[in-house]
Amino acid sequence: MSDASEFPQKEEKEDITPEEEQGNQSEDSSEDEASGATEMDFLRNLFSSTLGLGSVEKVLDELNLEGLARYIQSGKCKNIVCMVGAGISTSAGIPDFRSPGTGLYANLQKYNLPYPEAIFQIDYFKKHPEPFFALARELYPGQFKPTVCHYFMKMLKDKGLLRRCYSQNIDTLERVAGLEGDDLIEAHGTFFTSHCVSFSCRKEYNLEWMKEKIFSDDIPKCDKCSSLVKPDIVFFGESLPVRFFTSMKMDFPQCDLLIIMGTSLQVQPFAGLVGRVSKSCPRLLINMEKAGQADPFFGVLDFGGGMDFDSEKAYRDVAHISTCDEGCLALADLLGWKGELEELVNSEHSRIEAEDQQEKASGAAGAAAEAGTPPPAPEDKTTDQ
């Protein structure tokens, strides 16, 4: 599936200033450690496959949703890790980045950019912040409701099965659905907090402060030093959060089931996480197309961590080709959770809509008070019988 509300990342780093280098030192050390661990995994798998060492436990009786449902219900599956991308948010109305004709990159001509990716490049942002904040008004968190997929992960949490959700998305819908800070690794950052871009300041601002600035057409400037303030999303040229690298070392070796939804698995280092679970750990992909498959050459040697859905050696990977919402509903149905999931979605959407109406009414009353005019009378919904 094409990446959607997930934030696009380049594998290579942009040039950074000495100040930025100093600020990113701890992040770089974590990335170096992760790279070293990946190389060790590669060599370990190479020697294991070449010398015929070790054996792999097959835990699924069938490579399909039914087999996965039975595994979850068996009591052996206690630590589920989710990896999610843009595809889990498209049904909420958030456009993707790369789809021809409809993606964000195909519709950025109005911002007069030198190239589409510039809108998310840190150096360009510091010189020309206007295009990014104009786009932010269109995509700002709070204008969309979480999807069935988001609430399915919330159910996994409520049932004590979710170890962590690793998200490429910046739309904060996981938080709105009820995943809290410890439940969530926002690999590409978030709008939830913002910081001054000056390394000598770095004052933090909350979501409401940034929202007020964006929707008043103001370029957000720091109250303390007057530098630009940027949401804490990872731009091209910036490092991923340190917590991404530290948490993955704890979570993936303990993972009993990896569920991957709505991502093309093309962006590193996020995509490489699929290879960090144990070799016996089942992996489920819910997506509109197969993704993350092993390179044929490396697949023959049985290392590299890529997905294997179709070969004769396939033993743990399941691809369910559908929208993320449809896949989550199908799995919930097999688990006996479908009615509970649908009720959760309906009740939460009703709550969000009621809060939105209340906020709009409060805003209208406040505007009327400032203008010295009475607020509009409540609509009379009674009808003659």
Tokens linked to 385: 């019988």
Answer yes or no: are the C-beta atoms of 83 and 273 closer than 8 Å: yes
Distance CA 97, CA 351 (A): 30
**Joined tokens for residue 231:** 């949401």
In the chain, DSSP finds a helix count (H) and a strand count (E) of: 12, 9
Among 155, 159, 154, smallest CA distance to 175 is for 154
Q: What's the token pair of residue 370?
A: 């400032």
CB atoms within 10 A of CB 347: 11
Q: In what order do the strands lie in the sheet with 162-167?
A: 184-186, 162-167, 80-84, 257-261, 283-287, 317-321
Parallel, antiparallel or unpaired: strands 204-206 and 189-196: antiparallel
CA-to-CA dists, residue 127 to 108, 121, 217, 278, 283, angstroms: 18, 10, 17, 45, 43
Which of 188, 195, 320, 349 is the catalytic position? 188
Cβ count near 3 (within 10 Å) = 25
Distance between CA atoms of residues 241 and 255, nearest Å:
21
188 is catalytic: yes
DSSP 175-224: HHHT--GGGEEETTEEEEEEEES-TTT--EEEHHHHHHHHHTTPPPB-TT
Q: Which helix (H) or strand (E) holds 169?
A: none
Residue 288 CA to residue 228 CA, distance in Å, equals 39
**83 strand-pairing partners:** 166, 260
Please list the active-site residues. 188
